[in-house]
Amino acid sequence: MAGIKTVSLETIIKRASNIYEAIIVTSKKARKINEENKLEFTNLINTFHPANEDDFEDRDNTEQEKISIEFEKREKPHIQALDELVEKGIEYRYKEVAE
C-alpha cells in the first residue's frame, strides 16, 4: 500500500479561485466518480445469475470475487478527483441564481 501523497496548497489554488472552492469542486467530482464506480460494479455483478437461490450462498463465486478485488484495488474517488484537479483542472461553473 502506498503512502499518502502530499499536494501543495499553491498547486491546488492555481486550479481554483480559493482553497474552499477547490475543496467543494473536488468533493463533488469524487462523489460523481464514486457513483460511476458503483453503477459499473452493480452492472458487472448483475451479469451473474444464480442457478438456484438456495445454491447461491454455498457456491464459490470466483468471478464475482475477482471483480470485487479489482474494484477494491482502484484508487479511491477522492484521490482520483484531487489528481484530476491538480493535473488538468476540473471544469465547473456556478449555478444561476433566479431573482
What would the grid cell of residue 74 be?
482502484
What's the pLDDT tens digit per position in 25-76? 999 999 999 999 999 999 988 887 665 555 555 455 788 888 889 999 999 9
Burial 34-66 (b: 16+ CB within 10 A, else e): eeeeeeeeeeeeeeeeeeeeeeeeeeeeeeeee
Query: What pLDDT does residue 2 have?
Result: 60
Q: pTM for this structure? A: 0.75
First to last CA, the chain: 51
482502484: which residue's cell? 74
